[in-house]
Amino acid sequence: MARPSRAAFVTLLASALSFGLVGGAGAVPTVVQAAPAVLTPATAEGVAPTAAGVQKALAAVLADPSLGKHRGVYVYDVSRDKVVFSTGTATPYTPASTLKLLTTVSALATLGPEHRFTTQVVSAGKGSIVLVGGGDPLLTAKPAKSGGYPTRATLAALAASTAKALKAQGLTSVSLGFDASLFTGPAGNAKWESNYLPEGIAARTSALWVDEGRLSSGMAKRADSPAAAAAVAFSKLLVANGIKVVAAPAPKTAPAGAEALAKVLSPTVGQIVEYVNLHSDNDGAEVLLRHVGLATKNGGSYAGGVTGLEETLTKLGLDVSKAQIFDGSGLTRTNKVPLELLAGAVRMAASKDHPELRHLLTGLPIAGFSGSLEERFGAGSAGAGTGLVRAKTGTLTGVHSLAGMVRTRSGTVLAFAVASDSVPVPKTLDARAALDRAAAALANCGC
């Protein structure tokens, strides 16, 4: 079957697989209906996939020894709202970063896709101000030279607005405090490997940081106190805007009901979810987990976030009874999640009953094009999935997983999860390629 051009698949990103995924959804925006068709909207018409057909399509992949002993796949027909095929699903898997699907769908469900986080400066008395963190995971010091998506809030803009407000009051000299009390509990997860924080693999999660606590770009050392580092950066920006800061910034709780001098707003939660899943952003996922905890009144710690996540998934109709979840990013190997639950997050986001969850789908990496799938699906039979597979990746040593969605040749939307957490290290690349072939087989299935 001839495939549309690469450019056509980019159009697919914003149209056929973003909305109207389920026949009869009734919520397809006019702009999508009017767009040039790349793939027609999915319906429940035509030949339905069968368990035997899917099993045959996946047989060769599932027999691949590179996947180790504990491998499995779960496939759900979103168009017809039923399980099609599953094997190896009796026990849960270490999900690695596919766990972010659960964190981000919970954030969308509890906060709403249009919610924004506020970083602000408040007055704390004559000549005293406090920089207050609102848990913006993407807050940065200065605008990126190349732009980028989504557009981030910056300390530079906040400092300029703050300086203007202070000068309007006749103030050109202040003391600066900083407040990161929105989040509570340990900044690092007790289940993470001991080298994650010191080596900058993960940040110390904070309600106030810039550039996720990085002291320089890339995978580099993070600040021991991201909030203090953000305050120092803000102090320098104030000075650049003509405001003298009389002493080093110090921790200070903002007075209740304090007047806001200036503020900046984060991207929407929907945009942040897209970013976190596209780039597999561990730090952003951990911030969202704490917001879920706050939104569900379980507190702003990672433990409260996990409790809130489990409550939220249960309210969505997903079974968490066999899952063991300890963080929001999937960094810890102690997480154990059924494949049904991973695919369940995707099918909920595609459901006509939950349009507020659609950003989970629009942020999924596209095979061969974007995010963590940009360099995959380029060889052999996996190449047939290029542009057709949208999935979140999961990778730890010995652990590989994919969870997402495809649209089959017959027009059926399938949510799927495929994983192994017993991959021999020498077979890492072979196992990853096997999962790609499995997803490609589903996309090209006439089964």
d(CA 229, CA 223): 7
Fold of 6-112+273-443: Beta-lactamase (3.40.710)
Q: Which residues are catalytic?
A: 97, 100, 280
When pLDDT is averaged across residues 245-254 and rounded to a whole number, the result is 96
The pLDDT > 90 percentage for the chain reads: 79
Q: Find residue 214's DSSP bridge partners.
A: 222
Say yes or no to pLDDT of 370 above 50. Answer: yes
Strand-strand pairing, 244-245 and 250-251? unpaired
When pLDDT is averaged across residues 67-86 and rounded to a whole number, the result is 95
8 A C-beta contact, residue 214 and residue 165: no
8 A C-beta contact, residue 338 and residue 401: no
Q: What token pair was written down for 432? A: 């990853």
Q: pLDDT tens across 304-336, in order?
A: 999 999 999 999 999 999 999 999 999 999 999
When pLDDT is averaged across residues 77-98 and rounded to a whole number, the result is 96
8 A C-beta contact, residue 427 and residue 394: no
Cα 89 from chain centre: 24
Strand-strand pairing, 250-251 and 173-179? parallel
d(CA 104, CA 101): 5
When pLDDT is averaged across residues 246-251 and rounded to a whole number, the result is 96
Pick the residue with more confidence: 37 or 240? 240
When pLDDT is averaged across residues 282-306 and rounded to a whole number, the result is 98
Q: What is the pTM of this model?
A: 0.90
| AA identity, residue 277 | N
Q: What is the pLDDT of residue 3?
A: 36
Q: pLDDT tens across 127-137, in order?
A: 999 999 999 99
Say yes or no to pLDDT of 237 above 60. Answer: yes
CA distances (Å), 237 to each of 33, 104, 159, 339, 371, in order? 46, 33, 6, 48, 32
Q: What is the pLDDT of residue 419?
A: 97
Same topology, domains 6-112+273-443 and 118-267? Answer is no
Say yes or no to pLDDT of 432 above 60. Answer: yes
Q: What is the pLDDT of residue 43?
A: 55
Domain ranges of the chain: 6-112+273-443, 118-267
Average pLDDT score, the chain:
89
Say yes or no to pLDDT of 110 above 50. Answer: yes
Q: What token pair was written down for 268? A: 């929407």
Quickly state the pLDDT bin for 438 (edges 50, 70, 90): very high
Q: What is the pLDDT of residue 381?
A: 75
Q: What token pair was written down for 313? A: 């998934």
Fold of 118-267: D-tyrosyl-trna(Tyr) Deacylase; Chain: A; (3.50.80)
The pLDDT > 70 percentage for the chain reads: 89
Cβ-based neighbours of 328, under 8 Å, separated by 6 or more:
99, 100, 103, 285, 286, 288, 289, 290, 292, 302, 305, 306, 309
